[in-house]
Amino acid sequence: MEDQGNEEDISFPSEDVERCVQDSVEQVLATAQWDEKMVPQWINDICEKAMKQLTELGRPYKFVVTCMLMQKTQQSGAQTVLSCSWENQTDGYYQIIYPPQRAKDSAQKTIQCIATVFCVRF
């Protein structure tokens, strides 16, 4: 039984990471409308909230949080690519695109966010 507990501690905490990032983005952007002057503050708030929640998990990980905001228009679009060299069992990343394209209120949002967290076990 103890081995199973240790295995859980070693594996990448994907559900916890997903929850932390989603909560952070939604807390900051839930009612926000595009305002270029607010973008630096929103990015900072998202990254700080995510980092705080991630470190509060108490897991032996180093975290890197990135966030990109852009004005959502008919013509806007963004592509991101990432490449990592790490241990697949213990390390990982999570990326959120907000608002989700299939969300009911997605058409009303004027902001698009891509937030990514990289988690490397130490």
CA dist., res. 49 & res. 55, Å (int) = 10
Examine the pLDDT at 9 and tell me if it is beyond 90: no
**In terms of pLDDT, which residue wins out, 83 or 44?**
44
Strand 92-98 versus strand 61-71 pairing type: unpaired
Examine the pLDDT at 5 and tell me if it is beyond 70: no
3-state secondary structure of 55: helix
Cis peptide leading into 99, omega within 30 of 0? yes
* 102-114: pLDDT as tens digits: 766 666 789 999 9
CB 61 within 8 A of CB 54: yes
Which pTM value belongs to this model? 0.84
Q: Which domains does the chain have, with CATH numbers?
A: 2-121 (3.30.1140.40)
> What pLDDT score was predicted for residue 59?
92
> What pLDDT score was predicted for residue 4?
44
CA dist., res. 20 & res. 35, Å (int) = 25
- Residue 121's nearest CA partner among 54, 47, 49 is 54
* 45-101: pLDDT as tens digits: 999 999 999 999 999 999 999 999 999 887 767 777 888 888 888 999 999 999 887
Q: What is the per-residue burial (b if ≥16 Cβ within 10 Å, else e) of 64-98?
A: ebbbebeebeeeeeeeeeeeeeeeeebbbbbebeb
> What pLDDT score was predicted for residue 79?
77
